[in-house]
Structure 1
Amino acid sequence: MHIVANLQLFQSVNQAEKQAENLPAALAVNAEGAPAYALSPRHQLAQYAATGCLNSTFYASAEAQLATVLELCKAIDPRFIAQTAVYCRERGHMKDMPALLVAVLAGQGTQQLAPAFARVIDNGKMLRNFVQILRSGAVGRKSLGTRPKKLVQAWLNNASEQVLLAASVGNAPSLADVVKMVHPKPQEAWRAAFFAWLIGKEYHTADLPPALNAFERYKVDPSLPVPPVPFQMLTALPLSAEQWAQIARQGGWQMLRMNLNTFARHGVFGIDGMAELIADKLRDPQAIARAKVFPYQLMSACMAAGDSVPAIVKAALEQALEISLLNVPQVAGKVVVCPDVSGSMSSPVSGYRGSATSSMRCIDVAALVAAAMLRKNPSTVVLPFEQNVVECELDAENSVMENAAKLAAIGGGGTNCSAPLARMNWKNIPADLVIFVSDNESWVDGKRGGATATMHQWQKFKRHNPQARMVCIDIAPHATTQACEREDILNIGGFSDEVFKMIALFACGQLDPAHWVGEIEAIDVRLV
């Protein structure tokens, strides 16, 4: 009997072996000293910048991150620095990092400074961050300089009363410090009176703008209605629980979400009906839609709510989280999510910031992505991993918080990014899209020479799933990855709700080979 070889089969096997031989060698090392791929300087800047994280993380100190970003900026053209700053502010809603990048442009004296400043410095907090960074000497100077000074003056002379009032809250530097520094020359009487009030000079009470005038009258007569000023301006006053309740009634959706613990401390929830009123506002679908809120913000709020916040309010936050899933795009095809549950993932997602450290950990973000994708795509397979794949039963019908809690409770062990792909190859699990959520510090599967184990396993997976794509979300800022850039691989640094949109675009082939860097490069930073 003659055995006829399946030429097509052997040809495909030989082709796969040839492709494996052609995989690029991992010539860099990650923070664990294991083989990894170095990202391009532009992609590295995007990775660091999009985390918005200038605080100590599991693997890097704040000083090391700052030094890396400043060094990267030396090798990158100012236009891309400006585009990255705008991207991080407008789409990632970051604060410190975009202000730093605009300060870098100020230090370089480039023409991109003005348009970047106009887009990034969009509130008083951002203005104060910008001034603080410039004066610190971090970007090579300790004075504002002529052009930055004019930009700050113009901002002060054009901001509305409400924007200026919000900007007056905070220190290091305070808005008063900034005004004394740049000496704005206001054209309107109300603005001149506002600046005089701010820095402690004489002013005509009649010239004060309406909200500030009401605030000054309220300080004299607390029986008057609570003025429409930032509630932080009222905290030094002896407010009653009922007055705090009035502040809560006047507050917008985002303000309520961010200050639940403050209201609890001041007795608001002890007033009949206030817990129910705030809960109703938080779970109002129309208010959620107007606020354009995504799951990440709401999960952060759920985790930050203290024990003194009533159960009905916490339940409303969870309901709002479920409603916000409508904003998460659905992905066509079979999806596999691989959340990293190793020990390093227990660090805060925005780094260690002392008393201001976020309660949201890297592992919580990984769990959120898995739970959100499971809700939008019920057939999603979730493969949590550390040294190996960890068994964890999730139910698409459960709430996001329930599923996220199950995953987050696994935590521990070393990191092996190739483990889920090895499991998929072993079990012959198909997929159109594979999503990794990790800090990319894989070391259990590290070996010297050649490609990473992740790339070998991905190449093997592609033999049977030739159209598959892979997204690697690196939650912490790093300059390396376990999967090199290709048309079928997207590396994303940091996390915000914008990531859900990018995953959907990449999955349906609407991101070009430049991927994430291409998204940043598409931003127009010219002055209009």
Structure 2
Amino acid sequence: MVNTQLFQSQRGAMLPAALDTNNELAPAYAFSPRHQLAQLAATGCLRQTFYAQAQDQLDRVMTLAAEVDPAFVARTAVYARESGHMKDMPALLAAILAVRDLELLAQVFPRVIDSGKMLRNFVQILRSGAVGRKSLGTRPKKLVQRWLLEATEKQLLNAAVGNAPSLADVVKMVHPKPAEAWRAAWFAWLIGKPHDEAALPPATQALERFKRDATGEPPDVPFQMLTALGMTPAQWAQVARAGSWQMVRQNLNTFARHGVFEQPGMAKAIAAKLRDPQAVARARVLPYQLMSAFKAAGEAVPAVVQDALQDAMELAIGNVPSLHGRVVVCPDVSGSMRSSVTGWAGSATSTVRCVDVAALVAAAVLRKNRRARVLPFDFDVVDLRMNPRDSVMTNAQKLAGIGGGGTSCSAPLARLNRERAQVDLVILVSDNESWMDARRSGATATMREWETLKQRNPGARLVCIDIQPHATTQAAERADILNVGGFSDAVFEMIANFAEGRMGAGHWVGEIEAVTLGVQ
């Protein structure tokens, strides 16, 4: 007689064995090379994270890009830039195309290298030798020249802020030959060569006048070009008034240091800008950017401004699609989720942690579906009562303040099964590094619990959001399971499409494959 405990009959679909391991050496399912590349491109930061060194991530991207076809690399670069709003990874993928397929590079260059910062990133990656060459080459050089020759004065001034390389380095490298007199004078001004100041475009002329006499109104140039000129608090206030929505959000502590909020009416004026619905919409602001600004705001930033960031968060969440039915969100609050969401970068390390983003996703879903359940977990479910009427920021902070133990991704599913809960959609937000529920063989505990839940809820769907780039998951990809990386607005839209059955075969990788190449 066989051991019936060992060979008991299983209901439902045959579950795949977890033949790979995660960073905790626990059983897991490996993604395909395309999915791994997509995961890295949409969430990767080329910096040290809780589980990965920056060089390890770079090596993985290079290996994966060599395993997939160049067209998928090109589509991933476009997706990561336009939907994921990434910077380092799209520039790296564009640089890889400069070695692998110049025609594809030309098709995606304007969409991926869409700012001076991205241009400098692309040039630096190429000249570093990391992708197999140290020179730009004829075609990439012409693409860089075209950007320089078509950029507006404002774009050029913004691009001139920053080093390694500086825009002056790039100009010296590619030798653009402008047809307009103003552009020729501007390039000469940039690299310190003789030029006719009268031929410079208006903002640059104003900057030169301000350098000689800094008593008037500051010119409309990036404020970084003015910081060494000894501006008064009143002049700094003028800079804040003229700044874009994103610029103001990113520099609240700078304004506080320079006495802007002490100027009459400035605190209210900046608050009004931050909570302006049209400004928020134009800025295409991501909820996590608002969380970053809110968490980074020092004590010198007035309460009215901090409140405005919360108001802006509510506006940004208004763009998140509603998820209908019986929805359960499971944010991972374990110890590894305490690391910075964008990796370690010294003094520039983001104050937003992975757990903050997981909590933000949960709070956003609860805001749009007040009947949704939230089951935070570490080694087990953490019981926490959530008020859907509270602000998104308040609920996110409440969630992020709990937990800190080991990781068991199956715990919330096990809780639902013990309750025999009726469920339509489960959203698991984690770093996928489950180990408390590890099994020695067969399927992961997450897959086993999900299959049990499916017997009771045949139409249920599971979405696993990976906050940081990893090569494995606890839930194998299949028709009712979506594995997606990232935390941009595009993820919310993707969840809604998947929940409503509007997403095609291939799920997330299919979304990337659907990207149309060429200039839009």
TM class, shorter-length? over 0.9
SS at match of 1:371: helix
Q: Pick from 190, 205, 211: which aligns with 1:198? A: 190
Q: Pick from 91, 96, 103: which aligns with 1:104? A: 96
Matched residue type, 2:50: F
State how 1:8-27 maps to structure 2 within 5 Å. Answer: 17-20=10-13, 22-27=14-19
CA distance in 2, matches of 1:45, 1:165: 34
CA distance in 1, matches of 2:350, 2:175: 37
CA distance in 1, matches of 2:101, 2:34: 20
SS at match of 1:140: coil
Structure 2 contact 377–403 (Cα < 8 Å) conserved: no
SS at match of 1:112: helix
Is 1:123 aligned to residue 96 of structure 2? no
Q: In the TM superposition, what whole-angstrom CA distance separates every residue of 1:125-168 from its partner, at most 9, and x where no partner exists?
A: 00000000001111011111111111111111111111001000
Is 1:260 aligned to residue 257 of structure 2? no
Q: In the TM superposition, what whole-angstrom CA distance separates every residue of 1:443-469 from its partner, at most 9, and x where no partner exists?
A: 111112111110010000001100000
Q: Pick from 373, 382, 386: which aligns with 1:381? A: 373
Gap runs ≥5 in structure 2:
1-7
Q: In the TM superposition, what whole-angstrom CA distance separates every residue of 1:195-235 from its partner, at most 9, and x where no partner exists?
A: 00000000111110111011111111223321111111111
Per the TM alignment, residue 271 of structure 1 is displaced from its structure 2 partner at its CA by: 1.1
TM score, norm. by length of structure 2: 0.97
Q: In the TM superposition, what whole-angstrom CA distance separates every residue of 1:352-409 from its partner, at most 9, and x where no partner exists?
A: 0111100000000111011111110000111111111111111001111111111111
Gap runs ≥5 in structure 1:
1-14
Q: In the TM superposition, what whole-angstrom CA distance separates every residue of 1:19-74 from its partner, at most 9, and x where no partner exists?
A: 35x21111110000000001000000000110131100000000100000001011
Matched residue type, 2:12: Q
Is 1:137 aligned to residue 129 of structure 2? yes
Could you tell which deviates more after superposition, 272-281 or 435-444?
Answer: 272-281
Identity %: 66
CA distance in 2, matches of 1:524, 1:319: 36
Matched residue type, 2:241: R
CA distance in 1, matches of 2:124, 2:74: 19
Per the TM alignment, residue 299 of structure 1 is displaced from its structure 2 partner at its CA by: 1.3
Matched residue type, 1:174: S
Structure 2 contact 84–486 (Cα < 8 Å) conserved: no
Q: Pick from 191, 214, 217: which aligns with 2:206? A: 214
Structure 1 contact 363–411 (Cα < 8 Å) conserved: no
State how 1:147-226 maps to structure 2 within 5 Å. Answer: 147-226=139-218
Runs of 4+ aligned structure 1 residues displaced above 6 Å come to none
SS at match of 2:404: coil
Matched residue type, 1:17: Q
Give the match for residue 433 of structure 1.
425
Structure 1 contact 52–88 (Cα < 8 Å) conserved: no
State how 1:371-410 maps to structure 2 within 5 Å. Answer: 371-410=363-402
CA distance in 2, matches of 1:155, 1:106: 16
SS at match of 1:36: strand
Is 1:368 aligned to residue 360 of structure 2? yes
Per the TM alignment, residue 431 of structure 1 is displaced from its structure 2 partner at its CA by: 1.2
Give the match for residue 265 of structure 2.
273
Is 1:113 aligned to residue 100 of structure 2? no
SS at match of 2:405: coil
Is 1:305 aligned to residue 297 of structure 2? yes
SS at match of 1:317: helix
Give the match for residue 524 of structure 1.
516
Give the match for residue 46 of structure 1.
38
Matched residue type, 1:19: G
Give the match for residue 54 of structure 2.
62
Structure 1 contact 345–411 (Cα < 8 Å) conserved: no
Matched residue type, 1:131: V
CA distance in 2, matches of 1:282, 1:152: 35
Matched residue type, 2:155: V
Matched residue type, 1:129: N
CA distance in 2, matches of 1:332, 1:493: 22
Give the match for residue 277 of structure 2.
285
